[in-house]
A and B are shown apart, each in its own frame.
Chain A
Amino acid sequence: MSETSIVETQEPLQEGMAGVVSDFSSDKQSFHVHWGKAMMWIFLLSDTFIFSSFLIGYMTVRMSAQDPWPLTSEVFALSMGGEPIPLLLIAIMTFILITSSGTMAMAVNMGYRKEKKKTFYLMLATAILGASFVGMQVFEWSKLILDEGVRPWANPMGASQFGAAFFMITGFHGMHVTGGVIYLLVVAFRVKNGFYERRGNDYSIVEIAGLYWHFVDLVWVFIFAFFYLW
């Protein structure tokens, strides 16, 4: 093959490992995706390291704490009809967040089909689910703070690191969700206004926002496992 022909032919995409190699040895771009999407992936990789550091920090202080760790199934129980049901609220919150990932995935699909209206409503639904997650988190925090006397520096049930790690990590995650809700709303209304229609009818941004949203969801699963189930 001569020197110039390689760069001029638009090679057909290859499968599997060969595809990875050919992508990485190609000119112009290494991934056949939108700039924004590539950037979002890289950002999420970086964000993964943030949450991993948080969780590792939490595990370490949990081990270094001398006082007993509060029993999560009791602390996070919710009374229903006089009976405490462990982890009820968290189960609902988790369910809501997972559902919102579903609506988001549908929104991405509709975005690719250029169905403006459906994309908008599905994104709106995702944002509302996200907002209600944050609302429940506020409820949970206030219950812990007001009713059970949990503080970042101390709590009546045991190790003070419990409150510290809990408020820090769920707070940081909650901020991610809140930011995500705002981001989704901005994109949703731009979809509705035809902003993307005027720009080459390109709805990739819906998918990019979706990536972020799924990530925030995934992180929650880890927080859930490490904090509430352990």
Chain B
Amino acid sequence: MSYVALVDRDHEQDHHDPDTFLTKYVWSQDHKVIAIQYGGLAILVGVVALVLSVLMRLQLGFPNEFALINPESYYQFVTMHGMIMVVYLLTALFLGGFGNYLIPLMCGSRDMVFPFLNMLSVWVYFLSVIILIASFFVPGGATGAGWTLYPPQSLSGGTPGTDMGIILMLVSLGVFIVAATMGGLNYVTTVLQYRCKGMTLMRLPLSVWGIFTATILALLAFPALLVSAIMMILDHSVGTSFFMPAMISEGQQLSYNDGSPILFQHLFWFFGHPEVYIVALPAFGLVSDVLATHARKNIFGYRMMVWAILAIGGLSFIVWAHHMYVSGMNPYFGFFFATTTLIIAVPTALKVYNWVLTLWQGNIHLRVPMLFAIGFIFTFIHGGLTGLFLGNVTIDLPLSDTYFVVAHFHMVMGVSPVLVVFASIYHWFPLMSGKMFNETLGKWHFWLTFLGAYAVYLPMHYLGFQGVPRRYFSLGTTDFLPESAHTLNASITISAIILALAQLLFFINIFISLRNGKKAKPNCWGATSLEWLTPDTPPKHGNWGHDLPEVHRWAYDYSVPGQSQDFTPQTVPASEVPVGRDHGVDHDT
């Protein structure tokens, strides 16, 4: 007996609407409300991380001018900034925010498969954020071990936050993993098992593919982090020696013996490298959809794009030790991991070519989302190319732990995904809120952010070549650094402040558009994918009114020749408009 798909039993279900304020907006089980809760909270902690980065930059640009920042607090700022940006902002925003909002709408379902679990996920995430922020206020303060939390220094004296801060950080990560798992199981199962009629996997928009694959990576990579967190908590509080070798710290022989610090690094990066792609793959997906919509062209090489996402996802699990070239690993390992790292560049480059080819001869509308999307192509190529350098052992050895690395990872996993975040927020804002945003403010926001990011990070490559080390509170006077390096640092700081302030334009824009924005027309960009085809804008609880949609084509039928309009929604039957190019089940068409 085969199992009957639940979409086929849609009318048997009752979709009763929540009615009180609490059930509608607070304890909501509606994926759209949960998405906004997730996203809003992520952006809020993201602002904290942004403020921390400005504080660090103040010290670096104008050493010792600000009493608030001393060496201890600098390390705490570095650590919290890095961890918040990577995990609590970008991971939560892409999976919990965009994943929640877009997956059910793009798949043509009414909600996630288990809405209650979904609600729990956001509240557990909230808890993890509270624990994280609490670590600023405990005795000893937050941990200053760097976002990589390497033992032994994360547990031994001299590092800030070794009494309580590190524990709260590890516990918070554990709680976050629980939240991400509850959400992630939902997203994966929804994509696999709850699509509307006609929606085959190969007709899904690339946004769904990116988020789906990233979620699978999260479910398989977070376990390594969870386990290392548990082991580190035991080392810290129970006195085991998993990671801690016998050592003398501050003149005292510690009671640890024979632990393996390298083990931690392997576990951490087994999580850490896929984590980079947990952030990047959703960005790849979302940007593909924004590009296609505003270029009025089908995405170039859809099938290739899907396979590239899957290939990158798979390969991302066998490259982790390229972060450990200087850890004292066996050199043959370095050779292996350098090879896999360079192989992963192939599908990645393929995606970049396809984005550019999507723009080729397109009818490009340079609206705000499109500007950000094109900006992403620039920054991503830039960060990707420096990655090719760092992937080679011999080149990495001198550059490791310098500002070249800081510049590289900010370009590729800081600026690039953030540009996609903005592209996507502007792109889907009319749908989510029913209001249009202000174009002019948006364009100012784009140019200040894009140029600001280059003003901040481009010079850092040069500093790295000069040998400026990463995670240093202050450089002091050194022979190998010319005076101009210090001037450059001041200039970077000023750019960073302007860059940070420019983000206010975004918040002002959102705020005034929500209050006074023009009402958004349904499907205002003329898009083809399902989320724009709901009966109401913004979509109501249950998304589709009485009947679920029915899909007849892929999501990229833009500018089909001979049609009066330049887009054909996925719901238009093939009998009315010929399928431009179908990557569904039917190979005869």
A contact set with B: CB distance below 8 Å: 1-4, 6-7, 13, 24-35, 38-39, 42-43, 45-47, 49-50, 52-54, 57, 60-61, 64-67, 152-153, 159-161, 163-165, 168, 172
Contact = CB atoms under 8 A, between A and B. Distances in A.
15 contacts: A3-B586, A27-B196, A34-B3, A39-B113, A49-B219, A49-B224, A57-B231, A60-B260, A61-B260, A66-B258, A152-B234, A153-B240, A161-B240, A164-B238, A165-B242
B114 interface: yes
Given A24-B201, A28-B5, A153 B255 contact: yes
B231 A168 contact: yes
B143 to A, nearest CB: 21
B267 A25 contact: no
Interface string B248-261: 00000001011110
B195 A28 contact: yes
Interface of B: 2-3, 5-8, 113-114, 181, 185-186, 188-189, 192-203, 219-224, 226-228, 230-231, 234, 238-242, 255, 257-260, 263, 267, 270, 550-552, 573-575, 579, 582, 584-586, 588-589
Contacts of B3: 32-34
A44 B243 CA distance: 27
B481 to A, nearest CB: 39
Given A3-B552, A49-B219, A153-B241, 4 more contacts: A33-B193, A49-B223, A53-B227, A163-B240
Contacts of A32: 2-3
A60 to B, nearest CB: 5
A31 B242 CA distance: 41
Contacts of A52: 223
Query: Which of B5, B219, B585, B586 counts the most A-chain CB atoms under 10 A from its CB?
Result: B585
Nearest to B181: A46
B384 to A, nearest CB: 28
A66 B573 CA distance: 71
B238 A27 contact: no
B194 A29 contact: yes
A50 B193 CA distance: 25
A30 B201 contact: yes
A88 B264 CA distance: 35
Nearest to A153: B239
Nearest to B243: A61
B583 to A, nearest CB: 10
Given A27-B199, A27-B551, A29-B195, A65 B239 contact: no
A160 B257 contact: yes
A161 B201 contact: no
B219 A159 contact: no
Contacts of A165: 242
Nearest to A25: B585
Q: Which 6 pairs between the two chains have the least Cβ-Cβ distance?
A: A164-B240, A153-B239, A49-B223, A3-B574, A53-B227, A50-B223
B403 to A, nearest CB: 33
Contacts of A3: 552, 573-575, 579, 582, 586, 589
A31 B195 CA distance: 12
Given A13-B2, A64-B263, A35 B194 contact: yes
Contacts of B186: 39
B220 A46 contact: yes
Contact of A61 (B193, B220, B242, B574): B242
B193 A30 contact: yes
Contacts of B226: 50, 53
Contacts of B181: 43, 46
